[in-house]
Amino acid sequence: MNPKPVVTRFAPSPTGFMHVGSVRTAIFAWLFARKNHGTFILRIEDTDKERQVLGSIEHITDSLHWLGITWDEGIEVGGSHGPYIQSQRLDSYKKYAQTLIDKGYAYPDPYTQEEVEQWRMQAEAQQRPFLFRDHRPHDTRKWDGIQPLRFKIPEIKRYTWHDMVRGNLSAGEEALDDFVLIKGDGYPTYNFAHVIDDLEMKVTHIIRGEEFISSTPKFLSLYDALSIKPPILATVPVVLAPDGKKKLSKRDGAKDVLEYRKEGYLPEAIINFLSLLGWHPEGEQEVMSIAELTDAFELERVQKGGAIFDNIKLRWMNQQHLKRISDKEFIKQLTVLMNERGEQVPTYTQQILSLLRERSATLGEAANMLSSGEFNFYEAVSVDAALLMQNVQADRETVKRHLEKVRILIEPTSGENFSAERIKELIFPYANEQGRGAVLWPLRVALSGKEKSPDPFTLAELLGKDQTLQRIKSALQVL
Q: Which residues belong to the active site?
A: 250
Binding positions for ligand GLU, 258-277, rule CB under 6 A: none
For residues 74 and 364, which CB has a smaller minimum distance to ligand GLU in the complex? Answer: 74
Within 1-60, the residues that bind ligand GLU by CB under 6 A are 11-13, 45
Say how many residues touch ligand GLU, by CB under 6 A.
Answer: 6
| Nearest to ligand GLU of 7, 445 (CB atom) | 7
Cβ neighbours of residue 150 under 8 Å, at least 6 residues apart? 106, 107, 108, 109, 132, 178, 179, 180, 181
Shortest Å, Cβ 190 to ligand GLU = 6
Minimum gap (Å) between residue 206 Cβ and ligand GLU: 6
**Site mask, ligand GLU, residues 217-256, x = CB under 6 A?**
----------------------------------------
- Let me know: does 73 contact 84? Beta carbons within 8 Å: yes
Task: Give yes or no for a contact between 14 and 46, defined as CB atoms under 8 angstroms apart.
Answer: yes
User: Is residue 46 exposed (0-12), middle (13-18) or buried (19+ Cβ within 10 Å)?
Assistant: buried
Shortest distance in whole angstroms from residue 197 CB to ligand GLU: 9
The 201-220 site mask, x for binding ligand GLU (CB under 6 A), equals -------x------------
Site residues (CB under 6 A) for ligand GLU, limited to 413-452: none
Q: What distance in Å separates the CA atoms of residue 361 and residue 359, rounded to the nearest whole number? A: 7
Query: What three-state secondary structure class fits 51?
Result: coil
**Closer to ligand GLU at the Cβ: 161 or 428?**
161
CB of 208 to ligand GLU, least distance (A): 4
Choice from 89, 194, 205, 218 touching ligand GLU (CB under 6 A): 194
Q: For residues 230 and 242, which CB has a smaller minimum distance to ligand GLU in the complex? A: 230
Edge to edge, what strands does the sheet with 106-108 contain? 106-108, 149-151, 180-182
Distance CA(120)–CA(337), nearest Å, equals 53
Closer to ligand GLU by Cβ: residue 28 or 151: 28
Alpha carbon distance 152, 222 (integer Å): 9
- The minimum distance between CB 58 and ligand GLU, in angstroms, equals 16
What b/e string do you get for 247-286 counting C-beta neighbours within 10 Å, with b at 16 or more? ebeeebbbbbbeebbebbbbbbbbbbbbbbbbbbbeeeee
> Which residues of the shown chain bind ligand GLU in the complex (CB under 6 A)?
11-13, 45, 194, 208
